[in-house]
Structure 1
Amino acid sequence: MPDATVKLSDGIREITVEYNGTDDDPLARAEETAIRLYDAAIASHPTRRGHPATPPNERQRSSA
């Protein structure tokens, strides 16, 4: 059983990261890894319907 599982989705792509180990904060490590993988996924694929894919953490910062 993983120490932490993080799912990240924008409705088009879904990233699931399971982190196992004795790290101090497995949830933070899993979140960081999911965001890095998501960034790589959107960088390697063209946008759909002319709308750029923006990670959820960037949408929250820009709407403030």
Structure 2
Amino acid sequence: MAGEKKAYPLRISATVLDAMQRWSDDELRSVNAQIEYVLREALRKAGRLKAGPARPAADDNDTD
């Protein structure tokens, strides 16, 4: 279950999406992987997600 991915439609402003696109390009990730990374980090910092083993780099570099 931990490695399972679920699709979720996301409504996001064009401004935020453009910023995420630039950031993901800088990090060599897809926009989808960058959004997941940012959400995961925010959840971890807020104490809402246990710090688990590092995810494989392939997960962060998937394509949209």
Structure scoring higher RCO (CA < 8 A, sep ≥ 6) equals 2
User: Aligning the two structures, in what range does the TM-score lie when normalised by the shorter sequence?
Assistant: 0.3 to 0.5
User: TM-score, normalized by length of structure 1?
Assistant: 0.35
The structure whose Rg is larger is 1
**Which one has a larger percent helix, Structure 1 or Structure 2?**
2
